[in-house]
Amino acid sequence: MSIEMIGKKIGMTQLFDDKGFVIPATLLQVGPCTITNIKKENIYTKIQIGYEEINPSKLTKPMIGHFAKNNLPCFKYLKEYRVKSDEMLSIGEIIKIEKIKQEKSVKISGVSIGKGFSGYQKKHKFSRGPMSHGSKNHREPGSIGAGTTPGRVFPGKKMAGRMGNTKISIKNLKVIKTDTKNNILIIKGSVPGKKGNIVYIYQQ
């Protein structure tokens, strides 16, 4: 069964395996998530889940009505994903961390850390120019166009600009341990985003 959950990044730590090797690990506070809506299609079914209850006064009336229709509390974060049509799920059902299988890998999506306005070398790994006395091209981009023809810069040209703050998905992350009591998921390796960021965990 395909499962997707919403959580928050707690931070990173390190663990030791049986042989004494260090394993870099990320701690995630995952769920519990509540099924807020189900849309059945021909081949698949769309499942909408909610995470982190919120005061209704902070939501719009259409959103309050969306939750009130099924007698559910209001949630701050919503996410929709697909499952096969033959999966038996119901609105109001709570998805807990126990559903994530430790022997299977997961895909985690999140927004990367924003690093502000960055130059060519930092953002695109360009090589620098000569550092000798006569050079005037130390960290400059060089030519960005082809001259009179076409007389413009093509879209998608690698140039200086904002770095980070984009959605990133990392596949095949190994689940080291699940703490069902505290809803904590320990993942091997790094996860996009900074501490406190919302992450989406998906397992096929």
Please list the ranges in the chain whose pLDDT falls under 70: 85-87
For all residues of the chain together, what is the average pLDDT?
Answer: 90
Same domain, 38 and 125: no
Same domain, 155 and 59: no
Q: Which amino acid is at 84?
A: K
Sign of CA dihedral 185, 190, 193, 194: positive
Distance CA 41, CA 103 (A): 30
- Whole-number pLDDT of residue 85: 64
Same domain, 64 and 21: yes
Same domain, 197 and 128: no
- Whole-number pLDDT of residue 44: 81
For 137-157, the pLDDT digits (tens) are: 888 888 888 888 888 999 999
Same domain, 15 and 75: yes
Same domain, 198 and 178: yes
Eight-state DSSP code of residue 109: E
- Whole-number pLDDT of residue 143: 84
Q: Report the CATH number that the domain containing residue 181 is assigned in CATH.
A: 2.40.30.10
Domain holding 14, by residue range, is 3-115+169-203
For 98-137, the pLDDT digits (tens) are: 888 888 899 999 999 999 999 999 999 999 989 999 988 8
Same domain, 105 and 46: yes
Distance CA 185, CA 169 (A): 17
Strand order in the sheet with 33-40: 75-84, 44-53, 33-40, 94-95
Distance CA 174, CA 203 (A): 11
Instruction: Count the domains in the chain.
Output: 2
- Cis before 150? omega within 30: yes
Indicate the pTM of the whole model.
0.83
- Whole-number pLDDT of residue 103: 83
